[in-house]
């Protein structure tokens, strides 16, 4: 079961700032486009895109306490950067608030920041749409946005590479889930 779009939109309007809602709607729009070009359910892409940042605005203390309550694995990196938990916490708390029990959509929400290994097609769609939505500028984004509609996994590898380059460029720690996602994406390339 997935909620109707109006329910999902009202839920994020209640929880997020207006510019964050705009980002979610843009993510939804691109997720539908990418999904449609690969024969993936556009309704699931719509709800996954709209709700991916459902817990984005929770204070870090709350994200950590929710992650503990939900018995999520909390690495030292999550501890230092609790923001990284907003996807996993959303995937496990949304079903308490909305009629959403579709595991594919919840997996996509769970893995939109760090990826997953394995990663479903819908998760790749939401991951790509989050990074490439129309509010994000630049030639790289424009080119990869087009590529995502032709080569889902090639584009996902590209974006993951860009994410890792940014993290390593700033000498930040790489989350083990990102490393696992990267290895998975490399392995599944044709
Ligand atoms: Fe996010
Ligand atoms: Fe996002």
- pTM for this one? 0.97
Whether the CB-CB separation of 32 and 46 falls below 8 Å is answered with yes
pLDDT at res. 150: 98
Whether the CB-CB separation of 1 and 102 falls below 8 Å is answered with yes
| Span from the CA of 86 to the centroid of ligand 1 (angstroms) | 7
pLDDT tens digits for 68-127? 999 999 999 999 999 999 999 999 999 999 999 999 999 999 999 999 999 999 999 999
The CATH number of domain 5-187, selected from 3.40.50.300, 3.40.50.970, 1.10.3210.10, 1.20.1440.230: 1.10.3210.10
pLDDT at res. 5: 95
pLDDT at res. 146: 97
| Span from the CA of 45 to the centroid of ligand 2 (angstroms) | 14
Contacts of 79 (CB under 8 A, 6+ apart): 64
| Span from the CA of 52 to the centroid of ligand 1 (angstroms) | 6
Q: Helix axis angle, 5-15 relative to 18-37, nearest 10°?
A: 150
Query: What percent of the chain lies above the pLDDT cut of 70?
Result: 100
Mean pLDDT, residues 174-188: 97
Whether the CB-CB separation of 27 and 52 falls below 8 Å is answered with yes
From the CA of 87, the nearest ligand is 1
Neighbours of ion ligand 2 (CB under 5 A): 53, 130
- Please provide the average confidence, as pLDDT, over all residues in the chain: 97
pLDDT tens digits for 127-161? 999 999 999 999 999 999 999 999 999 999 999 99
pLDDT at res. 144: 98
Q: How confident is the model at residue 4 (pLDDT cuts 50, 70, 90)?
A: confident
| Span from the CA of 56 to the centroid of ligand 1 (angstroms) | 6
| Span from the CA of 122 to the centroid of ligand 2 (angstroms) | 15
Neighbours of ion ligand 1 (CB under 5 A): 53
- The residue ranges of every structural domain in the chain are 5-187
Whether the CB-CB separation of 172 and 106 falls below 8 Å is answered with no
Positive or negative torsion for Cα 115, 168, 131, 68: positive
| Span from the CA of 135 to the centroid of ligand 2 (angstroms) | 11
Q: How confident is the model at residue 1 (pLDDT cuts 50, 70, 90)?
A: confident
Q: Is-cis flag, bond preceding 101, omega within 30?
A: no
DSSP state letters, 85-152? GHHHHHHHHHHHHSS---HHHHHHHHTTTT--SS--HHHHHHHHHHHHSTT--SHHHHHHHHHHHH-H
| Span from the CA of 87 to the centroid of ligand 2 (angstroms) | 9
Q: CA–CA distance from 62 to each of 32, 55, 67, 82, 177 (Å)?
A: 31, 10, 8, 9, 21
Q: How confident is the model at residue 2 (pLDDT cuts 50, 70, 90)?
A: confident
Token output for 188: 């599944």
| Span from the CA of 57 to the centroid of ligand 1 (angstroms) | 10
| Span from the CA of 53 to the centroid of ligand 1 (angstroms) | 5
| Span from the CA of 119 to the centroid of ligand 2 (angstroms) | 17
């Amino acid at each position: 079961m997935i909620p109707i779009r109006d329910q999902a939109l009202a839920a994020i309007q209640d929880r997020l700032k207006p510019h964050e809602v705009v980002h979610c709607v843009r993510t939804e729009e691109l997720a539908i486009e990418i999904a449609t070009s690969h024969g993936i359910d556009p309704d699931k892409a719509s709800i996954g895109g709209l709700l991916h940042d459902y817990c984005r605005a929770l204070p870090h203390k709350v994200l950590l306490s929710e992650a503990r309550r939900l018995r999520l694995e909390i690495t030292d990196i999550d501890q230092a950067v609790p923001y990284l938990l907003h996807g996993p916490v959303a995937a496990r708390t949304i079903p308490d608030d909305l009629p959403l029990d579709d595991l594919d959509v919840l997996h996509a929400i769970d893995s939109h920041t760090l990826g997953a290994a394995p990663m479903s097609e819908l998760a790749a769609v939401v991951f790509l749409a989050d990074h490439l939505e129309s509010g994000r500028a630049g030639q790289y984004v424009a080119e990869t946005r087009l590529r995502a509609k032709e080569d889902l996994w090639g584009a996902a590898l590209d974006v993951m590479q860009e994410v890792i380059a940014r993290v390593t460029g700033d000498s930040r720690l790489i989350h083990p889930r990102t490393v696992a996602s990267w290895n998975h994406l490399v392995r599944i390339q044709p």
